[in-house]
Structure 1
Amino acid sequence: MSILNQKFDTLHDTAPFSQIKNEDYLPAFDAAIEKTEAEIAAIISNPDTPTFENTVAAMAYSGMELDRISNIFFNLHSAETNDELDKIAQEVAPKLSKLANDITLNPQLFERIKKIYDQKDTLSLNAEQLTLLQKSYRDFVRNGALLNDEKKETLRQIDAELAVLKLKFGENVLAETNAYQLHITDEGDLAGLPEGTIEAAQGLAKAQDKAGWIFTLDYPSYIPFVTYADNRSLRREITIAAGRKAFQDNEYNNEENILKIVRLRFQRAQLLGYDTHAHFVLEERMAQHPSSVEAFLNDLLYKARPAAEQEFRDLSIFANELHGIEQLEKWDTAYYSEKLKQERFDLDDELLKPYFQLENVLDGVFTIAQKLYGLHFHEVQHIDKYHEEVRTFEVTDDSKRLIAIFYADFFPRKGKRNGAWMTSFKPQYRKDGQDERPHISIVCNFTRPTATKPSLLTFNEVSTLFHEFGHALHGMLADTVYPNLSGTSVFWDFVELPSQIMENWCYEKEALEIFAKHYQTGETLPMELIDKIKASASFMEGMATLRQLGFGLLDMGWHAQDPTSVNNIKSFENRCFTSTQLLPDVQENAMSPSFSHIFNGGYSSGYYSYKWAEVLDADAFAYFQEKGIFDRTVADKFKENILSKGGVEHPMTLYKRFRGKEPNVDALLKRAGLIK
């Protein structure tokens, strides 16, 4: 039996990463799938009358060994992958899809659940039990329980194919990211670039036994290059390279994968009786319906577009006066925005970075969590890691009770996909009188330390760390009975509230004074720089909002209508971007082939939720500001009603219990400086 199928003989039941070999995964998955099938068979064959406990609760606790193995495997597949893991993922995905279908398409199991669901009003269930029952019933119906056998078989085929296509999509994006390098040998081409970025690029070149400097499409390399490099033609080259990921005539092209994915999603929705994939998805979201999402996005677009157009005019005039640029292009906006920000606010990210040493920022976010929620983080060396750079922490409360295990993985490397995310290796739940505490991880791609400097973060990286840590708090503070309602198991358009609200503390003097200290002198970030950070918070917010709305509208374009007639991805995208486009189109680039959020992540028909959650977070943070940003009464209400509750009740019910009212979109527009 694989080590993965046994109870882990480790402190706090943590994953024994160093003992797991690649060849352990397939047999472990097979054994755990078999075990899950046996658990489900036991529920079905139970001769007793179906009850909430012997059917619905029993199902919630079934398959936990398999979930654990899946969490370990797929988290490593994102953070520490290799060709072997890619192959295993391709093999495992259809098996997991088949098992999920075997469960939700089982007529005897559904019959038991339906019996309980039909008498739910007479069962005296508490809010969490009622939510679990409704979710269980809906999961079956939404996965084909009411279909005839022929249609069930079609659904199985669609799901198996989608599982493999989504994986392939992500692997292609990663391969394309890793395949590109901008190798510079002329020192003159480095003009404008920050010293730390140059040093990191030199380190990359050295590691490959090359002279000069290497820049890649990993964000800590790519973002500084397009923001600071004076050489416009090189900015153009790397920008176009980033924009054509998986949109080139090679084996990693994702165009065919996209068309297959959207058509299969549409076919699946129709099979289940929904108009489109978006109708299907949004039934389980706060927004409820595509028309609500489109109205929400277009309302924001109507309010943000005038500000965005004015910002674009200002930026165009500025670039023309500074360098005679006649037409701003895609590779110009970050560069000239940074120059204009420096002129307007005398604020340069490079000026700020010495105050944001990673270790200090991390200690700062821990201190803020302690002030708000009474959490204490102790770094430990006795917990196994999947990579030597991962840091491990025990998280306790004021009474020294273990709350969570926390993993932090900060720097880019070859086997790690781009971006930043929070995930879990083990969820929180309660069973047999035992409160099982969660194992939570955040994975980022921050600026590495160099030979002469520690890891110094851009302000954007600081806010990213706070964002992912907000998700982590949602996982760590979970306090539910059932694992499938715990932590971040909430409606997708609610899941970004805990992460986005945390970003607000980055802009507050009281919070910055805790962690923004110069890495050499220990001097606290000067007050005038804090004022400038606050003042610049809404700089270019109109253009940034338009960009996000464009992505949301593209997502709805793919999923809120019949996509079967779409054959050309590029021209389809251009139509979707009409209302949000400010820059000229770049023919060689397309967004969709590397839009992992909607084709490989969980955001299909849900990209709007970033903006939706911004409305919630602006409204919620306004409450903190009214009472004081470290007010324990407000923090306790947020912890009790939002962070600990997971998905036990409808999110709007939870939100109103915290805030006393529904959120107001004006809070976001005011904060963004888009309305007075």
Structure 2
Amino acid sequence: MEKAVTSLQDNPLADFTDLPRFAEIRPEHIGPALDVLLSQAQAAVDRAEDPATPSTWRDAVEALEAATEPLGRAWGVVGHLSAVADTPELRKAHTENLPRMTEFWSSLGQSLALYDKYKAVAAGPEFAGLSPARKQLLENELRGFRLGGAELAEDRKPRFAQIQEEQAQLSKAFSDHVLDATNLYALFIEDESRLAGVPEDAKEAAALAAQKDGKSGWKFTLHFPSYFPVLQYADDRTLRQTMYEASVTRASELGTKFGGGQADWDNTTNMRDQLALRREEALMLGYNNYGEVSLVPKMADKPADVLRFLDELGVKARPYAEKDWAELRAFAASELGLNTLDPWDVAYASEKLRQQRYAFSEHEVKQYFPEGKVLEGLFGVIEKLFTVRIEPDQAQTWHKDVRFFRVVNPQGALLAQFYIDLYAREGKRGGAWMDDARGRKERDNGTVQTPVAYLTCNFSAPVGDKPAVFTHDEVITLFHEFGHGLHHMLTQVGDLGVSGINGVEWDAVELPSQFMENFCWEYEVLSGMTQQVETGAPLPRALFDRMLAAKNFQNGMMTLRQIVLSSFDMHLHTDFDPQGGKSVLELSREINDRVHVVPQHPLSRWPNTFSHIFAGGYAAGYYSYKWAEVLSADVYAAFEEAAQLSGSVLDGETGRRYHREILSVGGSRPAMESFVAFRGRAPQIDALLRHGGMAEGVSA
């Protein structure tokens, strides 16, 4: 053992003195680091389980956290690198080590001895003297033991552990299949006339991609910054159809036919297997379905409540969606000669209609959002609202494009740090997310472990010597992920399990992210964070007014799409039989036909790439985006109310109150308590409907 520990001193993955040593970490470091970290963590578990170990906060809860945190941080680095810098060697090491990591955490959750220790702490004499945060943490841990199978009969625990391991492997495989199918596809165009309508910057990026492959012409991929401009702008309908069909058949049985995969990347069986395992897990724990299990740590009480919420929102949105769809079809027929509106026409026709109705294009707006000015504006909003400063910092990174910053208080003291990785590239999972590199923790010696966040997006990279420019939607995405980052970084809770986003109910965790999106619709914010790339001029007020008028363009249709995804997810995990005669795809079509006004194309296999619920932790929880939107819109309404007095939505007093009652408390108290502490009342749906143009007297 001593020899192993000594060798670990040279292993960068096991160095927790400061930030991860990304430039030095290699796949071959993973196994040896985990050998020692797992051994140390298991030894701590054994000590905590020992009947001779006192049932106290320090000896049971704190000691166990201290020993398992390094293991979690090391594995977090591995998972992060798998998402942003995937290689065959890294994937192999991740796959080899995933079973033993899953086995350790499963056995921890199943430990009846530990569960009894935690229950003894909760029932013991020191409980009354614990801080509210520690009481909440203890309650969360006890719930975790129950959901982890600690109360199961001993002869059933091996099967429960096996279920966890199989689910982890299937989830990773699902994600890998989507990434591989996305990376594999390439469409080379030699005839420039086929690219009529496609913006110049998208064409330049495609030409550069082709050059990198040693080919002439233009290369288009299924990565969003390459794929979507074709769907949105290309006049060549066949080209749009080709790209659409490749995208919606990824990781399905049709992938090989349309160029987006290999036969063994088909996620159809994977989805059924995951659903069957989740159902078995729920039944073992004494629940009727996995939806009930998923909601135990959430704000919503039961699946029926969620489905009722979605149905009621759908009823409110449907008239607006019907109007959106009718207008789009009429426009496409009369102005574009498209008597049949196929899915590969929708984004194209919508963009043409937007341009006609509001006299601007997304491409025109994009030229006002160069990366440097956007980040400057985002940081300015945060600094004004929360009385902090954001400064450039230095750290090892996993790619040359990654930047690193520090957040400090007015006196210059370090509060947090973050990495920001903005561009799409091969080997990087699609989408946008925030993840934690480490959480805030107050140590016994009076020092503080400051939080560190990863902020990851998939925007278009700079081309040549031009700066990267973002669409307004991408700017909104950046603000969204930064909202998550602020929740993690500005916490003032010192107990790791409930600091930042830890311990926050999953259907409330989107509140801070969606809240930040609202600032992207304020001229006082945009005027200071825009700069036309050719002229240097800020976004004109007249153009902003047209953008604002178009804000809720097709919002009825978009709302129904979110409800389809959310309802599909909840039904999958409540009343769908994965071993029955109906397929996952058939369920998706049934729900789309019932809820949406836009038909689902026969080729579409979108469930096969629904990574949120099959690889991203949102199983029976996708509804939380809409659930939290009610909360976030109502919270933002407080800033709108303050602006009526102060003249600015960047109201410092309201920002400090929001920081104090929501961001700083993290998961140390129920989200509803935090909301009421900030707002002074229970949430109301009015602000969401008003912001979305779906309230009476508000134009959609």
Q: Does 1:581 align with 2:596?
A: yes
Deviates more, 1:292-301 or 1:585-594: 585-594
Q: 1:218 aligns with which of 220, 223, 233?
A: 223
* 1:170-201 CA-partner distances (Å, limit 9, x unpaired): 00000000111121111111011111011111
Residue deviations 1:604-628 (CA, integer Å, cap 9, x gap) = 0111111111111111111001102
User: Are the aligned partners of 1:328 and 1:583 in contact in 2 as well (CA < 8 Å)?
Assistant: no
Of residues 473, 488, 491 in structure 2, which corresponds to 1:478? 491
Picking from 629, 634, 645, the partner of 2:654 is 634
Question: How many angstroms does 1:504 deviate by?
Answer: 0.7
User: 2:677 aligned with 1:657, yes or no?
Assistant: yes
Mapped pair 1:538 → 2:543: no
Percent of residue pairs bearing the same amino acid type: 35
Question: How far apart are 1:212 and its partner, in Å?
Answer: 0.7
Deviation for aligned residue 1:567: 5.0
Equivalent residue number for residue 170 of structure 1:
175
The 2-side partners of 1:248 and 1:185 are apart by 29
Distance 1:120 1:605, change over 3 A: farther
Secondary structure of residue in 2 paired with 1:582:
coil
Q: Partner of 1:392: helix, strand, or coil?
A: strand
Cα distance in 2 between the residues matched to 1:47 and 1:496: 43
Q: Tell me how far apart the structure 1 counterparts of residues 460 and 336 of structure 2 sit (CA, whole Å).
A: 30
The verdict on how the C-alpha distance between 1:571 and 1:52 changes in structure 2, with shifts beyond 3 A counting, is: same
Task: Give the distance between the partners of 1:529 and 1:162, measured in 2 at CA.
Answer: 49
Question: 1: distance between equivalents of 2:106 and 2:538?
Answer: 56
Q: Does 1:467 align with 2:472?
A: no
Separation of aligned partners in 1, 2:126 and 2:360 = 60
Find 1:32's aligned residue among 24, 30, 37.
37
Displacement of 1:374:
1.6
**What's the TM-score, normalizing by structure 1?**
0.97
Q: SS of the residue aligned with 1:403?
A: strand
Conserved in 2, the CA contact under 8 Å of 1:244 and 1:589? yes
Distance in 2, matches of 1:621 and 1:339, equals 32
Aligned-pair CA distance for 1:659: 0.8
Summarize the Cα distance change of 1:323–1:519 in structure 2 as closer, same or farther, 3 Å threshold: closer
Contact 1:429 1:479 in 2 (8 A): no
How many residue pairs get aligned? The number is 672
> Which of the numbers 615, 625, 629 marks the counterpart of 2:640?
625
**So what's the TM-score if we normalise by structure 2?**
0.94
User: Which AA in structure 2 matches 1:115?
Assistant: A
- SS at structure 2 position matched to 1:39: helix
- When structure 1 is superposed on structure 2, of 577-586 and 497-506 the one drifting more is 577-586
Task: Quote the RMSD (CA, aligned, Å).
Answer: 1.5
Verify: 1:65 aligned to 2:70, yes or no.
yes
CA contact (8 A) 2:14 2:74 kept: no
Aligned partner of 2:456 in structure 1 is 443
In structure 1, give the amino acid aligned to 2:247: A
**Using the alignment, how far apart are the partners of 1:238 and 1:8 within structure 2?**
45
Query: Does residue 51 in structure 1 map to residue 56 in structure 2?
Result: yes
**How much has 1:292 moved relative to structure 2?**
1.0
Counterparts of 1:551 and 1:585 in 2: how far apart (Å)?
A: 12
Per-residue deviation at 1:662?
1.3
Cα distance in 2 for residues equivalent to 1:131 and 1:289? 22
Gaps of 5+ in 2: 1-6, 255-262, 644-648
Give the counterpart letter for 1:419 in structure 2.
Answer: G
Asked whether the 8 Å contact 1:170–1:596 carries over to 2, the reply is yes
Distance 2:358 2:605 in 1: 34
Q: Distance in 2 between matches of 1:578 and 1:126?
A: 51
Q: Is the 8 A contact 1:379 1:392 kept in 2?
A: yes
Contact map agreement 2:186 2:222 (CA 8 A) in 1 = yes
Matched, 1:504 2:524: no
**Aligned equivalents of 1:258, 1:179: Cα separation in 2:** 22
Contact 1:422 1:440 in 2 (8 A): yes
Q: Residue 5 of structure 1 contacts residue 31 of structure 1 at CA under 8 Å; is this kept in 2?
A: no
Cα offset for 1:568?
2.4
Which aligned runs of 4 or more in structure 1 are off by greater than 6 angstroms? none
Amino acid at match of 1:479: Q
Q: Per the alignment, in what secondary structure is the counterpart of residue 501 of structure 2?
A: coil
1:444 is paired with a residue whose SS is strand
1:329-344 map, 5 Å: 329-344=342-357
Equivalent residues of 2:439, 2:499 under 8 A apart: yes
**Matched-pair contact (CA < 8 Å) for 1:383–1:392:** yes
Output the CA distance in 1 between the equivalents of 2:510 and 2:146: 27
Greater CA drift, 103-112 or 455-464? 103-112
Which letter maps to 1:525? L
1:301 and 2:321 are equivalent in the alignment: no
Question: Is the 8 Å Cα contact of residues 247 and 589 (structure 1) preserved in structure 2?
Answer: no
Q: CA–CA distance in 1 between the matches of 2:591 and 2:598?
A: 14
Task: Provide structure 1 residue ranges, at least 5 long, that are not aligned to the other structure.
Answer: none
Distance 1:568 1:129, change over 3 A: same
Residue 625 of structure 2 corresponds to residue 610 of structure 1: yes
- For residues 70-81 of structure 1, what are the structure 2 equivalents within 5 Å? 70-81=75-86
> What one-letter code is carried by the residue in structure 2 that aligns with 1:355?
Y
Aligned mate of 2:507, from 493, 497, 503: 493
* In structure 1, C-alpha distance between the alignment counterparts of 2:467 and 2:83, rounded to whole Å: 26
Q: Contact (CA 8 Å) 2:436, 2:453: kept in 1 or not?
A: yes
**Cα distance in 2 for residues equivalent to 1:666 and 1:120:** 46
- Change beyond 3 A, Cα 1:429–1:46: farther
Residues 175-231 of structure 1 deviation map (CA, whole Å, 9 limit, x = unaligned):
000111121111111011111011111111111011111111111111111111111
Cα deviation, 1:230-266, whole Å, max 9, x if unaligned, reads: 1111111111111111112511000010000000000
The change in CA–CA distance for 1:442 and 1:491 in structure 2 (over 3 A counts) is same
